[in-house]
Structure formats: structure tokens, C-alpha cells
């Protein structure tokens, strides 16, 4: 999946002149009238003309991308955005509970086109859940999953196991698992579906197409997304760049990529060290030096937001290209900010996992800095479902100090400002009624 000569990741480029693309985005609405057809129903493949790397009849779908864009008054208020201007793009509604299904349907399609019989990934959890689901539903391939030890949340691990994937647990972290899966795939000729895979990013472009669709094809001012391996941010930048080149939108939104402070490689490189796209020649030596120093000092990513707990983001250069195209910014937020934001998201209607809430915490900081104005239209991508990581949620709301310290305190979270604590009562009717009157 990388260039033999320069080692950089491959990129999907279309010769649009030879392809049929509708002359208005509105034309895609017609697909809804044909939604009994699975390719029109799919939130990915109903935009097939904008990711036409495989013939439609080859495209694999399990019904991904039936997601919602919802305005949230509670989250708007929390972040300092005017009512009605903040939207949550809820990707937790995907079949495996995270946005990864958008990319998996595309990678799986390509794997099928090249006749693969086994597909592998290293994962902090959601990619493996998604791969395992696609294998289990379609029976087109067998899944091989590499996970690091101890870091995967139970919600995600349980999915891989339940879907019947071969799950290989490596004594190391995500980056170790990533390095190994690349070697093993080369050795055994297994198709690799990590986001080094450029087709994943093609599928993830459709998240933005659905955002535009929900906004009646109006471009918002900001897209805010958590940054881990940087597949999403890279895909979003590509989506808007292509739509703009095709004349389907008249401007691109700004992009904000939010790192966890405990896994802030992108933030360090872009905002502190000034790494830029530089017309296609970014100074990647800077990144190499940064990684060397990271290894030399033994510093490893550590955050409660396990989906973005990544030291060496594989899509680094594509992401800085997206930042260039979308006049983007990068910010870091602490685990305490993430967990507070997550609690506000939950209390306002849609739950999410910790990594997803980084986007909301990021908006709050960017509004406080004056970078995002209160009356701008802002879309936060909620990347994964609330039930993916119940351990983090329960630890936040618990009264059990020991559990709080173990899960959150050890990561620098001092207090849970929005904890909704369970009320302990004796098993006695009067006491229960008293408690409900008191707290209700």
C-alpha cells in the first residue's frame, strides 16, 4: 500500500474527465427513491460516482452509513456556539458502531476485486470490529486481527470475538501491532485493511457527503474531528478538495483536527514545529526526528481515548495536505476535557465513546481562543458509539474513588464535573421513595 520508491502511501486519483459525475449534488437525492436497491440504500455507495474505483456491482455493502446529523442545543451551549449552529454527525449508528464501516465497505470492495481470501488489520478496536463484521456478514473473506495487549476496550474486543475473527494479541501497543501486521501481510499475502489502505479513505469521504446532504448541500464553516491515524481528516480534506475541483461546491469548510494531549504527535509537529504541506514537499525528516526522540526517551501515547492513542499516525502527510486544502488547525485536549465533553454529549441526547468527544472539547477550546466564532456553523464528528467503552463512562460517573483513580485519575483526570452518580439506597420502599423525592 506504499510506493516502492519513496515509501509514501498510495493515493486514489481519478481521471474525472472520463467518468460520469452528476453536475449537481442534488442529483444524488434521486437515489433515495430507489432505496430498495442496497447500493442506493448504502450511505457510502449512493455516492458511487464520487468514489468510482470499482464497478458498482462489485461494491460490498452491509447497510453502512445510515447516520444522522443532528443539531444539539446542549452541546452548542457547552462549547459557546449559538443555538442551532452546532451539529453532531453521529457515526455510532453504523452497523459495527463506528465510522470505520464507511471505509471498510470500500477496502473490502477492493479486496474482493483483487481476489483476496483473507484480510488483516491492527487496531485499537474499531477497525477490527468493523473488519470482523464485514467478514462475518458477507463470508467473502476471513478476518485476522492484531491487537496490542491491555489497551483495547471491552466493547470492541467483544465484537471481534463474537463475529468469529482470528484475534492475535501482541505483547505491545498499537504501533507495535501495526508494524507486525504489515510484515505478516507481506509474508502471507493477506490483504491489509488498515488506513494505510487508500480505499478506506475513499469510503470515509462519504461521511462528508452525508453532512452536506443533511445541510441541504450547504457547506458548513467548520468540520471538527478527532485525530488518531488521521484517516478521517485526510479523507475529509480529499472529499472537499475534489468536490470543489468538480465545481460541486463553491467553497471548502475549515478543518479542525483534535488530538488527545497524551497522543499529540500531529499537534506537536504542525502547531509547535510548523510542519506544513509545502506544495507537496513537507519536511518529513522533522517527523522522523520526532519519532526518534520519542523512542529514545521511551515516551508512549497514553490517553483514555483509546481510539486515538497513537504515536505515529500513518496518514500524517495526507492529513497535512488536508490541513492545507481546508485552512485547517490542530489542537490538543486533555483527558479531563474529553471526559467532560463526553458527559455533555451524553446528557444532550447522543452518547459517544471518549475519542469522539475530543471533537466537542476541541470546539470549546477553539471558541475560547476566538478561532471559531459563536455564530459559525460547526459540525463535530462523533466517530464511535457510547457502548464501545462502558468502562470509561462508568468510571467517570462512579462514586468508587478507587475505580475512578484506576481508569481516569491515572491519566490526570482530577474530577468529573458532570458526573451523574448512582444513588445508593437501602432495599426499603420508604427509603427509595425518599431518595427519588430528594434527587428527582
Ligand X SMILES: *Cc1c(COP(=O)(O)O)cnc(C)c1O
| Site string (118-137) toward ligand X, x via CB under 6 A | --------x-----------
Q: What is the distance between the alpha carbons of residues 293 and 6, in angstroms, rounded to a whole number?
A: 23
303 binds ligand X (CB under 6 A): no
CB of 121 to ligand X, least distance (A): 11
| Phi, psi angles (nearest 5°) of residue 122 | -100, 150
Tell me which residues in 75-114 interact with ligand X (CB under 6 A): 98, 100
Q: Report which secondary-structure segment, H or E, holds 69.
A: strand 68-71
Say if residues 2 and 314 touch (Cβ distance below 8 Å): no
Among 307, 330, 363, 408, binds ligand X (CB under 6 A): 307
Among 153, 383, 386, 393, binds ligand X (CB under 6 A): 383
Interface size with ligand X, residues (CB under 6 A): 18
Tell me which residues in 147-186 interact with ligand X (CB under 6 A): none
The three-class DSSP label of residue 223 is strand
DSSP letter at 271 equals I
Q: What is the distance between the alpha carbons of residues 344 and 349, in angstroms, rounded to a whole number?
A: 9
Q: What is the distance between the alpha carbons of residues 206 and 62, in angstroms, rounded to a whole number?
A: 15
Judged by CB under 6 A, which stretch of 23-31, 216-224, 351-359, 427-435 contacts ligand X? 351-359
Among 196, 230, 329, 360, binds ligand X (CB under 6 A): 230
384 binds ligand X (CB under 6 A): yes
194 binds ligand X (CB under 6 A): no
Say if residues 256 and 331 touch (Cβ distance below 8 Å): yes
Judged by CB under 6 A, which stretch of 11-19, 52-60, 229-237, 330-338 contacts ligand X? 229-237
**Alpha helices (H) in 246-308, listed in sequence order:** 265-267, 284-297
CB of 232 to ligand X, least distance (A): 4
Q: How many residues does the chain have?
A: 440
User: Among residues 25 and 386, whose Cβ is nearest to ligand X?
Assistant: 386
Judged by CB under 6 A, which stretch of 74-82, 113-121, 349-357, 390-398 contacts ligand X? 349-357
Return the C-alpha torsion angle 335, 308, 50, 39, nearest 10. Answer: -100
Say if residues 266 and 316 touch (Cβ distance below 8 Å): yes
Tell me which residues in 245-274 interact with ligand X (CB under 6 A): none
Which of left, alpha, beta for 295 (phi over 0: left; psi -120 to 50: alpha)? Answer: alpha
User: Among residues 28 and 95, whose Cβ is nearest to ligand X?
Assistant: 95
User: Among residues 46 and 100, whose Cβ is nearest to ligand X?
Assistant: 100
User: Among residues 75 and 248, whose Cβ is nearest to ligand X?
Assistant: 75
Q: What is the distance between the alpha carbons of residues 2 and 315, in angstroms, rounded to a whole number?
A: 11
**Alpha helices (H) in 117-167, listed in sequence order:** 126-138, 154-162
Beta bridge partners, 86, equal 378
Q: What is the distance between the alpha carbons of residues 19 and 336, in angstroms, rounded to a whole number?
A: 48
CB of 64 to ligand X, least distance (A): 14
CB of 315 to ligand X, least distance (A): 7
Judged by CB under 6 A, which stretch of 69-77, 114-122, 226-234, 400-408 contacts ligand X? 226-234
Neighbours of 368 (CB within 10 A): 11
232 binds ligand X (CB under 6 A): yes
CB of 307 to ligand X, least distance (A): 3
Among 308, 323, 339, 345, binds ligand X (CB under 6 A): 308
User: Among residues 346 and 384, whose Cβ is nearest to ligand X?
Assistant: 384
CB of 208 to ligand X, least distance (A): 13
The three-class DSSP label of residue 141 is coil
Beta bridge partners, 90, equal 68, 382
Q: Point out which residues bind ligand X (CB under 6 A).
A: 98, 100, 126, 195, 226-232, 307-308, 353, 355-356, 383-384
Amino acid at each position: 500500500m506504499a510506493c516502492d520508491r519513496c515509501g509514501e502511501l498510495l493515493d486514489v486519483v481519478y481521471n474525472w474527465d472520463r467518468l460520469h459525475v452528476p453536475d449537481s449534488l442534488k442529483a444524488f437525492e434521486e437515489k433515495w427513491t430507489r432505496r430498495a436497491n442496497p447500493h442506493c440504500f448504502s450511505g457510502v455507495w449512493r455516492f458511487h460516482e464520487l468514489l468510482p474505483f470499482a464497478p458498482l456491482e462489485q461494491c460490498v455493502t452491509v447497510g453502512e452509513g445510515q447516520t444522522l446529523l443532528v443539531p444539539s442545543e446542549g452541546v452548542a451551549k457547552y462549547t459557546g456556539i449559538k443555538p442551532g449552529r452546532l451539529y453532531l454527525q453521529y457515526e455510532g449508528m453504523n452497523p459495527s458502531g463506528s465510522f470505520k464501516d464507511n471505509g471498510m465497505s470500500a477496502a473490502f470492495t477492493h479486496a474482493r476485486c483483487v481476489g483476496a481470501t483473507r484480510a488483516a488489520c491492527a487496531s485499537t478496536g474499531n477497525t477490527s470490529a468493523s473488519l470482523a463484521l464485514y467478514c462475518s456478514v458477507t463470508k467473502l473473506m476471513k478476518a485476522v486481527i492484531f491487537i496490542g495487549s491491555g489497551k483495547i476496550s471491552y466493547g470492541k474486543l467483544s465484537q471481534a470475538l463474537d463475529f468469529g475473527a482470528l484475534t492475535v494479541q501482541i505483547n505491545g501497543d498499537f504501533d507495535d501491532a501495526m508494524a507486525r501486521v504489515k510484515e505478516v501481510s507481506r509474508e502471507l499475502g493477506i490483504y491489509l485493511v488498515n488506513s494505510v489502505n487508500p480505499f478506506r479513505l475513499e469510503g470515509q469521504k462519504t461521511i462528508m457527503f452525508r453532512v452536506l446532504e443533511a445541510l441541504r448541500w450547504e457547506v458548513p464553516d467548520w468540520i471538527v474531528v478527532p485525530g488518531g491515524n488521521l484517516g478521517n481528516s485526510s479523507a475529509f480534506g480529499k472529499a472537499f478538495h475534489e468536490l470543489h475541483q468538480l465545481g460541486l461546491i463553491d467553497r471548502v469548510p475549515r478543518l479542525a483536527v483534535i488530538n488527545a494531549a497524551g497522543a499529540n504527535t500531529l499537534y506537536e509537529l504542525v502547531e509547535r514545529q510548523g510542519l506544513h504541506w509545502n506544495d507537496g514537499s513537507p519536511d518529513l525528516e522533522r517527523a522522523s526526528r520526532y519519532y526518534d526522540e520519542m523512542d529514545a526517551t521511551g515516551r508512549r501515547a497514553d490517553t483514555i481515548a483509546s481510539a486515538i492513542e497513537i504515536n505515529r499516525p500513518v496518514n500524517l502527510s495526507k492529513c497535512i495536505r488536508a490541513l492545507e486544502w481546508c485552512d485547517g488547525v490542530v489542537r490538543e485536549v486533555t483527558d479531563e476535557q474529553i471526559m467532560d465533553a463526553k458527559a455533555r454529549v451524553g446528557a444532550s441526547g447522543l452518547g459517544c465513546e471518549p475519542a469522539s468527544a475530543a471533537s466537542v472539547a476541541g470546539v470549546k477550546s477553539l471558541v475560547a481562543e476566538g478561532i471559531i466564532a459563536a455564530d459559525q456553523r460547526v459540525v463535530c464528528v462523533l466517530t464511535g458509539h457510547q457502548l464501545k467503552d462502558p468502562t470509561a463512562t462508568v468510571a467517570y460517573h462512579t462514586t468508587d474513588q478507587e475505580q475512578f483513580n484506576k481508569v481516569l485519575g491515572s491519566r490526570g483526570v482530577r474530577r468529573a464535573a458532570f458526573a451523574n452518580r448512582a444513588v445508593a439506597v437501602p432495599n426499603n420502599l420508604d427509603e427509595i421513595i425518599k431518595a427519588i423525592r430528594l434527587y428527582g
